Amino acid sequence: MPADAARPAAVPTRQVDNDRVCVTEWRFAPNAATGWHRHAHDYVVVPLMDGKLLLKHPDGSETTADLKAGVSYFRETGVEHDVINASGHEFAFVEIEMK
């Protein structure tokens, strides 16, 4: 799926990458997006602050997620989406992928 050129890009900062895990901090300006991607590993997301994400799915549907600082969630390999900051302020989370 093509990226939306009108949106700023979310900024990933790799913190750990070894044979067992990959840890990335993702920072989003308001309305910033990751771009379309498919997760190759199981992963956990740890929000660093409260915020709202808009999730675009390959079938054209959209969902929103209200996230709370420190309240983590888990997803399995294969998730495909574009993640957009719908918070109206900067938002960040840490993503931990299990290899």
Strand-pair partners of 67: 51
Per-residue pLDDT, averaged over 38-58, amounts to 98
Residue 2 has pLDDT above 80, yes or no: no
In a domain, 5, yes or no: no
In a domain, 1, yes or no: no
pTM of the shown model: 0.92
CATH of residue 27's domain is: 2.60.120.10
The total domain count for the chain is 1
Per-residue pLDDT, averaged over 27-45, amounts to 97
Residue 5 has pLDDT above 90, yes or no: no
User: Containing domain of residue 78, as a range?
Assistant: 11-98
pLDDT at 6: 84
In a domain, 46, yes or no: yes
pLDDT at 4: 62
In a domain, 4, yes or no: no
Instruction: Outline where DSSP puts E strands in 1-99.
Output: 11-17, 21-28, 37-38, 42-47, 51-56, 62-67, 73-75, 80-85, 91-98
